[in-house]
Structure 1
Amino acid sequence: MPVTAQEALRITRVLETELDKRQAKIKVWNDFFVGKHNLEWASDRFRQAFGGLFANFSDNWCEVVCSAPAERLVPIGFRFGTGDDGDPAGADKDAQRIWQASNMDAWSRVAHTEAMVKARAFVLVWVEDPNADDAEPEITVEDATQCIVAYEPGSRRRRKAALKRWDGEDGFTYATLYLPDEIWKWRRSSTVSGLVLPEALTAGWKPRGDDPDQARIPNPLDRVPMVELRNRPRLIDEPSPEHANVIPLQGAANKLIIDMLTASEGGAFPARWGAGIDLPKDPLTGQEIDDPELWRLSVSKMLRASNPQAKFGNFEAADLRNFVAGITLITEHISALSRTPPTYFMGKVENVAADALTASEAGLTSKCSEKTTFLGEDWEEVMRLAFLVKGDEERGKNPLAETIWRDVAYRTEAQHIDAVLKKKALGVPWRQLMEDTGYTPTQIDRMEKMLEADAERAARALAFKPPGEEDFPDVEDEGAGDRTGDEVLVP
């Protein structure tokens, strides 16, 4: 049902308040992903030894933990139930065209990375003029710091409202409220002469434009056109980023490495000592001269002493292997908690069997398979909205939509093809085998046409006998040389 402007403003403020509550956590999660780690706990000795050399230091494993699953989640097409004759439907070509038109083959990967880092990502489906005959949907990926979706009470699926808020370059903050029946557009002043105003002075949203009625736009989709991609969804608890459990261990790894750097500066090089050495004396005062330059050794200097009882020696250098063992232990814990293969944390891999590498990736493969289930439901809703924009209610309300994903498991080419050939022996159809091989629906369609063309060429070739086996018609000798026109003369 349509709402009044006052009710729309109330919903906007409620969603904005909740959006503001999320900002602090999102900033921390994003900072750890990009390597902005807090080093306030670093010792004074570390600062004295290195100054600002390592001011932005981080041994960043959070980026690895978030990127490892995100890079394997690649949607390659969509299906919509079965055909009219009951046969299983292949990849929908219209869905593929809409997907490509919005560059979603690239931006879907950005959406997955954002969801891994910030626990959520958002996808907006809209069109400038939904009532136009040639309306084409536009799919855009939105940031978790700018968007929020509210659901019906007791549901995590039925969207009640959505809000997008962003700062413009003209000194105004803009907001768009998405409701099932209508869309409200607001703006408010955020700066004066380049100065950011206090929030209390900018709380009032006003319609965009002079006429308040211009703020309201009908929504012909009858649905909230924004979809939330949730990472690690829960029933009651909020979704969480991929590196939520890794952040404390990341801090521990940073501290051990900083301690190792500090120890290397102070004790990694063997210090020398001397005993029973007669120091030179000042001829005027008779006091011993303790000049540090006398003890700065190099290849062109040597130590000598007039006292035959003098002794020289070296202190043992600090053993940094204890730090290395601690750092290795922490990275192993990060690998286990995040189900990221140990090979992602190793600088090199030696003498590891292929089966062992495959087994080490089982956890990540299982995790990615689980994510395709939940994220696939969200992408299916996105594509349904896209067809609703085009006025196609058959596919826009089809509950049998299915996302086609690229295989999330990494295999060698030999292992992959061997598995496909074994499926073929079981009777798996050719098109399914091509999907399992990793080809996109567009590539499969192209190969299918190429196979048809090859079959036609082979059929034409079989229509002619090899040279020397042709069947020639009987030709009488008399008058054979007098035939002209279209008749073929056979020698």
Structure 2
Amino acid sequence: MPVSVQEALRITSVLEQELDRRQAEITLWNDFYKGEPSLGFASERFRAAFGGLFEKFSDNWCEVVCDAPAERLTPTGFRFGTGQEKDPPSADKDAQRIWQASKMDAWARVAHLEASVKARSFVLVWASDPDVDEVEPEITVEDATQCIVAYEPGSHRKRKAALKRFDGDDGYQYATLYLADELWKFRRMGSPSSGLILPRALALSSWRARGDDPEDLRIANPLGRVPMVELRNRPRLTDPPTPEHRQVIPIQGALNKLIADMLTASEAGAFPARWGTGIDLPKDPLTGQEIDDPELWRLAVNKMLRASNPAAKFGNFDAADLANFVSGITLLTEHISALSRTPPTYFMGKVQNVSADGLTVADSGLASKCRDKTLFLGEDWEEVMRLAFLVKGDTKRGTNPLAETIWRDVEYRTEAQHIDAVMKKKTLGVPWRQLMEDVGYTPTQIDRMERMLEQDADRAARALAFKTPDGYDDQANDVPEDSGAAERGGVAA
């Protein structure tokens, strides 16, 4: 049901306030992923020793924790079943074409990574050019700092409204409100890039129609659904989704603190300190007073101490032992691995004396986590593809509840292990096409291989039609000139 301008502005204001509230958390999560945490943990001695040398210092494991699951989540196709077909549905070729036309082979990985880092990412589905006769859907990945989706009260799936707000390079800030039946397009002066920030009290009344034509304000939504889908990382029932590295962030800070202390200790105490007694200070030849020159005591590896006093003694203090810092850093790294279920091999510079079975066991936690993610993300991608078919006017697939996302195997295995597992499945009677999906081929590659197999079979059949060297012609079933065979009424063996 269409809403008034005042109601559209009210919904926009409510969504905008929640979007603003999320900005601080998203910025913090993103900074830790990029390895740009605050150096508030650094001591004054650290700053005095290194100055700005390590201004951007971070032994960043948050990036590894977020990348590890994202790089294994790869949708390869979609199926649309009816529940009544005799033959099982194969990958939908139209869905594959739409997916590739929007370059989602690459951008789906970005969507998963953004959700892993910022707890949410968003996917927008709309017509690439609504004015042409053959409308084609366009799927784009949107950022959590710009978008928000609101749901019906008591529901985590039924989308009520969505908002996308972004800054233009013309001094305007733009916003689009997405409702089930209509879109509202606004703009206002004072984007952050222009330096003119309007007070929140003026925000509600500052939005105006985008463009000079009043028709630019409201656009009908023929899909009948909010065309923006939210991808949530680690969804909960009552709590908001969280990023992949939320529990790791405090440990990452402690890890940076320990490494900074180790660097400070290495600067101050890793070089064995020297001591000397009975050293006579040089005297001023004019006054006869001792000269306490600080440069005399600035020792280094290439400097020596000497004294004219035969009673002088020299020695060294033990160098600082950095092994205690290394033990603490190793302990914190192991905690990061355990809490995030990231295999220890991701944190090790080298792997020694580890069997293939050991690597599989170490990888099982991450593989299990990724399989859980495919359940929730699969539902979101299926909704995205349903919206894409609604753009094309295909209500059959646009409302199909039996849509299914096809995922590449999330478990890491060597090529030999993978093929061996597939061959064992073959002995159980698993169909060829399913085996090819398990190997990791995309639906497009499988279709191509199927056509190649048919061509190979045709060539083999044509080859059998030629006469064999002993004079037989299988195609015509000719009987060779053999009187004995003719009398027997058959073909000579």
Residue 290 (structure 1) shift? 3.5
Q: Does 1:236 align with 2:258?
A: no
CA displacement 1:220-271 (0-9 Å, x = unmatched):
1110000000000000110000000000000000000000011111000111
Q: Which amino acid aligns with 2:31?
A: D
CA displacement 1:104-151 (0-9 Å, x = unmatched):
000000000000000000000001555854110000000001111010
Gaps of 5+ in 1: 476-491
TM-score (norm. length: structure 1): 0.92
Match of 2:228 in 1: 226
Residue 193 (structure 1) shift? 11
Match of 2:263 in 1: 261
Residue 29 (structure 1) shift? 0.6
Residue 279 (structure 1) shift? 3.2
Q: Identify which range, 374-383 or 2-11, moves more after superposition.
A: 2-11
1:287-366 mapped onto 2 (5 Å cutoff): 287-294=289-296, 302-366=304-368
Match of 2:445 in 1: 443
Structure 1 residues 283 and 55: CA distance shift in structure 2, 3 A = same
- Alignment check: 8 A CA contact 2:437 2:443 kept: yes
CA displacement 1:369-418 (0-9 Å, x = unmatched):
00000000000000000001111111000000000000001100010000
CA displacement 1:351-382 (0-9 Å, x = unmatched):
11111111001100000000000000000000
Gaps of 5+ in 2: 482-493
CA displacement 1:53-105 (0-9 Å, x = unmatched):
01111111110000000000000000001486421100000000000000000
CA displacement 1:201-227 (0-9 Å, x = unmatched):
554211123344431111111100000
1:358-437 mapped onto 2 (5 Å cutoff): 358-437=360-439
Q: Does 1:96 align with 2:92?
A: no
Rounded to whole Å, the distance in 1 between the matches of 2:20 and 2:71 is 30
1:58 partner SS: coil
Q: Does 1:123 align with 2:128?
A: no
CA displacement 1:323-344 (0-9 Å, x = unmatched):
0100110010000000000111
Residue correspondences, number? 475
Match of 1:178 in 2: 178
Structure 1 residues 277 and 109: CA distance shift in structure 2, 3 A = same
CA displacement 1:254-308 (0-9 Å, x = unmatched):
0000000111110001111112233333333333333344456678865443433
1:467 partner SS: coil
Match of 1:5 in 2: 5
- Alignment check: 8 A CA contact 1:385 1:396 kept: yes
Q: 1:215 aligns with which of 217, 230, 235?
A: 217
Q: Which amino acid aligns with 2:68?
A: A
2:121 partner SS: strand
Match of 2:24 in 1: 24
CA displacement 1:132-173 (0-9 Å, x = unmatched):
541100000000011110101100000001111111111111
Match of 1:66 in 2: 66
- Alignment check: 8 A CA contact 2:102 2:138 kept: yes
Q: Which amino acid aligns with 2:433?
A: R
1:196 partner SS: coil
Structure 1 residues 301 and 359: CA distance shift in structure 2, 3 A = closer
- Alignment check: 8 A CA contact 2:167 2:192 kept: no
1:361 partner SS: helix
Structure 1 residues 247 and 399: CA distance shift in structure 2, 3 A = same
- Alignment check: 8 A CA contact 1:275 1:310 kept: yes
Give % identity.
Answer: 76
Q: Which amino acid aligns with 2:246?
A: A
Rounded to whole Å, the distance in 1 between the matches of 2:464 and 2:5 is 76
Rounded to whole Å, the distance in 2 between the matches of 1:210 and 1:433 is 58
- Alignment check: 8 A CA contact 2:189 2:196 kept: no
- Alignment check: 8 A CA contact 2:180 2:221 kept: yes
Structure 1 residues 462 and 213: CA distance shift in structure 2, 3 A = closer
1:305 partner SS: coil
Residue 466 (structure 1) shift? 3.6
Structure 1 residues 313 and 395: CA distance shift in structure 2, 3 A = same
Structure 1 residues 297 and 235: CA distance shift in structure 2, 3 A = closer
Match of 2:87 in 1: 87
Match of 1:49 in 2: 49
Rounded to whole Å, the distance in 1 between the matches of 2:293 and 2:239 is 67
Rounded to whole Å, the distance in 2 between the matches of 1:5 and 1:251 is 47
Rounded to whole Å, the distance in 2 between the matches of 1:191 and 1:78 is 40
Structure 1 residues 300 and 230: CA distance shift in structure 2, 3 A = closer
Quote the RMSD (CA, aligned, Å): 2.1
